[in-house]
């Protein structure tokens, strides 16, 4: 089945902590005959999210709101992932079922779950030919253009400050060799509909990265060349675009292209981020595992490939479940594809899951200020994203908290990889379950978004 056939099927709506493992100590003999035990900071992740974080990347999954009551599902989600994409809940038909009547109930559940658990959110998708509500399908021309602009404004404003990246426009190019835009009611409103959607999204949520997302663009071909030309033109003309998403739905008819990494790299070279946004690979066993490993390695080899999201957790959660395309089986067990992905994230080795031998630092380090924190900022008029790097002192940490002093009038709207107490004045950010334990010298990053003037002081850090 071709990838586009897969899309048609899916779009037809048939549907019915991680722990930093550590590691070694080297024993060095100095000339005088003294023996020094040197704890190294070498470590590797034991979950997808921690392993990806070690490489400064996220690892995400599509999430369905109606599965948040499934404890097996949520257990894997909370353990393994630090980014979520609502699978259907932010689409036009879900968020604006009647014109001007917005419904965020299910999307808010997913965003709330992410925030409670220190995960970030990829918003998906603001403008798309598919999964439009009936009323929009029946519009055309300037009425549809105005409805699209209002939709982008309303949804991006509702989630302002809570979204890491938005798929602003999804799947706007035709398959095959034409390099043309896909025909759709949106396309027929005028060729500038894509840039209008991006400019509108930037105004509504200046803190979110704005992505163009598509499939069958994973290797160099006529379709990806057409997207490349559009993105180059946007960069040249100052149309706000920050990232390109590669859906990466693969099967035997549409395998991982040999030039996958090269294709990611050429987009990154345009000066924007690339993300693998909907990864699933039909198959089983070693062949499937090898394909997941090669995709993961390709992302790690491209410095501006900032993260990977798989399109569901267990095979049975997949939009194409019969192809068993995901990392966990229907019972929630890790597949060979999981281990291969984790190994690839860890650079080829998975740390032992049992405690390392005698060289581990004490499990209860002495109390005190055993960590430091540093702050970096991305700012715009009226808001900012802050990234805080926490580094453990010589005793390591079992937990940590960084305290940030905000100027008057400034408020935190969203935090990831940390839990904040309060949102104004002196705000304390404590570790979440998966990033509290740091070995001596090890670092972890968390972030928050705010409105108002950014903080200027170095955060203080305390370890437990």
Out of 1, 4, 10, 424, name the contact with ligand XIL by CB under 6 A.
10
- Sign of the alpha-carbon dihedral angle for 293, 318, 213, 78: negative
**Distinct helix (H) and strand (E) counts, the chain:** 12, 21
CB of 153 to ligand XIL, least distance (A): 21
CB of 63 to ligand XIL, least distance (A): 11
Out of 3, 43, 217, 247, name the contact with ligand XIL by CB under 6 A.
247
User: Please, which residues have CB within 8 angstroms of residue 280's CB and are 6 or more apart in sequence?
Assistant: 248, 249, 250, 310, 311, 312, 318, 320, 323, 325, 326
Q: Is residue 96 annotated as a catalytic residue, yes or no? A: no
446 is an interface residue for ligand XIL by CB under 6 A: no
Helices (H), 284-368: 285-301, 336-345
* Identity of the residue, 10 or 179, whose beta carbon is nearer to ligand XIL in the bound complex: 10
Burial class (CB in 10 A: 0-12, 13-18, 19+), 138: exposed
* Identity of the residue, 19 or 122, whose beta carbon is nearer to ligand XIL in the bound complex: 122
Out of 4, 11, 220, 387, name the contact with ligand XIL by CB under 6 A.
11
The region of 5-13, 339-347, 409-417, 438-446 touching ligand XIL under the rule CB under 6 A is 5-13
The 203-242 site mask, x for binding ligand XIL (CB under 6 A), equals ----------------------------------------
Out of 43, 117, 170, 414, name the contact with ligand XIL by CB under 6 A.
170
Tokens of 85: 């994409």
Whether residue 102 contacts residue 89, with contact meaning beta carbons closer than 8 Å, is answered with no
Whether residue 428 contacts residue 401, with contact meaning beta carbons closer than 8 Å, is answered with yes
CA dist list (Å): 271 to 22, 169, 223:
35, 19, 20
Tokens of 430: 């404590």
SS3 category, 273: strand
Which of 171, 195, 282, 445 is the catalytic position?
171
The two most distant CA atoms of the chain are separated, in Å, by 84
The region of 8-16, 37-45, 391-399, 442-450 touching ligand XIL under the rule CB under 6 A is 8-16
278 is an interface residue for ligand XIL by CB under 6 A: yes
Write out the residues near ligand XIL by the rule CB under 6 A: 7, 10-11, 13, 15, 87-88, 170, 247, 278, 319
Catalytic positions, written as ranges = 171, 278
């Amino acid at each position: 089945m071709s990838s586009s056939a897969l899309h048609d099927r899916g779009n037809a709506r048939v549907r019915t902590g991680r722990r930093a493992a550590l590691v070694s100590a080297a024993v060095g003999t100095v000339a005088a005959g003294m023996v020094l035990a040197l704890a190294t900071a070498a470590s590797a992740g034991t979950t997808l999210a921690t392993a990806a974080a070690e490489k400064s990347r996220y690892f995400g999954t599509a999430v369905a709101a109606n599965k948040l009551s499934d404890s097996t599902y949520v257990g894997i989600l909370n353990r393994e992932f630090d980014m979520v994409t609502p699978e259907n809940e932010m689409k036009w038909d879900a968020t604006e079922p009647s014109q001007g009547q917005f419904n965020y109930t299910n999307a808010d559940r997913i965003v709330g779950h992410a925030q409670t658990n220190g995960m970030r959110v990829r918003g998906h998708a603001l403008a798309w030919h598919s999964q439009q509500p009936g009323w929009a399908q029946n519009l055309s021309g300037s009425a549809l253009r105005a409805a699209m602009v209002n939709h982008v404004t309303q949804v991006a404003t509702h989630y302002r400050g809570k979204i890491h990246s938005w798929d602003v426009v999804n799947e706007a190019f035709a398959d095959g060799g034409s390099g043309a835009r896909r025909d759709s009611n949106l396309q027929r409103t005028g060729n500038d509909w894509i840039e209008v959607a991006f400019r509108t999204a930037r105004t509504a949520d200046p803190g979110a990265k704005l992505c163009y997302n598509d499939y069958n663009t994973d290797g160099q071909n006529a379709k990806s060349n057409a997207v490349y030309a559009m993105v180059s033109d946007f960069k040249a003309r100052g149309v706000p675009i920050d990232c390109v998403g590669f859906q990466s739905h693969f099967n035997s008819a549409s395998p991982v292209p040999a030039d996958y990494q090269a294709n990611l790299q050429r987009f990154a070279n345009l000066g924007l981020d690339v993300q693998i946004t909907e990864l699933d690979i039909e198959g089983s066993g070693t062949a499937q595992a090898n394909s997941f490993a090669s995709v993961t390695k390709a992302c790690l080899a491209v410095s501006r490939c900032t993260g990977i999201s798989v399109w569901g957790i267990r095979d049975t959660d997949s939009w194409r479940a019969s192809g068993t395309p995901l990392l966990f089986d229907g019972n929630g067990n890790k597949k060979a594809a999981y281990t291969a992905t984790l190994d690839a994230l860890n650079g080829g080795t998975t740390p032992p899951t049992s405690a390392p031998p005698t060289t581990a630092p004490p499990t209860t380090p002495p109390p005190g200020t055993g960590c430091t924190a540093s702050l970096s900022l991305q700012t715009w008029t009226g808001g900012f994203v802050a990234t805080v790097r926490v580094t453990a002192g010589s005793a390591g940490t079992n937990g940590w908290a960084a305290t940030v002093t905000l100027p008057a009038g400034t408020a935190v709207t969203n935090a990831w990889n940390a839990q904040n107490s309060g949102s104004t004045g002196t705000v304390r950010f404590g570790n979440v379950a998966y990033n509290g334990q740091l070995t001596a010298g090890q670092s972890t990053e968390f972030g928050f978004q705010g409105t108002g003037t950014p903080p200027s002081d170095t955060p203080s850090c305390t370890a437990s």
